[in-house]
Amino acid sequence: DAGVIQSPRHEVTEMGQEVTLRCKPISGHNSLFWYRQTMMRGLELLIYFNNNVPIDDSGMPEDRFSAKMPNASFSTLKIQPSEPRDSAVYFCASSFLRGVNTEAFFGQGTRLTVV
């Protein structure tokens, strides 16, 4: 397996524009996590899906953020409208939940810059 795949790797956009980040989890994994990493706040869990269903979205900072998982092999995180303070590295991770979650694997991240 190629691991967790995120795209794009880098995104530069202007304030007010819509941004969509994409994630393909490891085949067979049924848990998917979206994180945001900044120097000030470290790794923050934004949203957690299990079997394509959002289980906990309490970390989503504002209504400008939304996430979907239409099937087991694809998820998106959308920011609309984007703001400079959204600039960060966004990571996607997946694991397999059977009673408890097993080892989590991370993608390489998307570095978002909003100017």
Partner 1 sequence: KQEVTQIPAALSVPEGENLVLNCSFTDSAIYNLQWFRQDPGKGLTSLLLIQSSQREQTSGRLNASLDKSSGRSTLYIAASQPGDSATYLCAEFSGGYNKLIFGAGTRLAVHP
- Sort residue 45 into left (φ over 0), alpha (ψ -120 to 50) or beta: beta
Which run of H or E residues covers position 36?
strand 31-38
CB of 114 to partner 1, least distance (A): 19
Q: What is the CA radius of gyration of the chain?
A: 13
Minimal distance, residue 16 CB to partner 1, in Å: 27
94 and 82 in contact (C-beta within 8 Å)? no
Site string for partner 1, 82-101 (x = CB under 8 A): ---------x-x-x-x--xx
β-sheet bridge partners, residue 36: 44, 90
| 75 part of the interface to partner 1, by CB under 8 A | no
User: For partner 1, which stretch binds (CB under 8 A), given 13-21, 22-30, 48-56, 72-80?
Assistant: 48-56
Stretch near partner 1 under the rule CB under 8 A, chosen from 13-21, 45-53, 69-77, 80-88: 45-53
Query: Which pair of tokens denotes residue 77?
Result: 């995180």
**Which residues of this protein are in contact with partner 1, per CB under 8 A?**
31, 33, 35, 42-43, 45, 48, 50, 55-56, 91, 93, 95, 97, 100-109
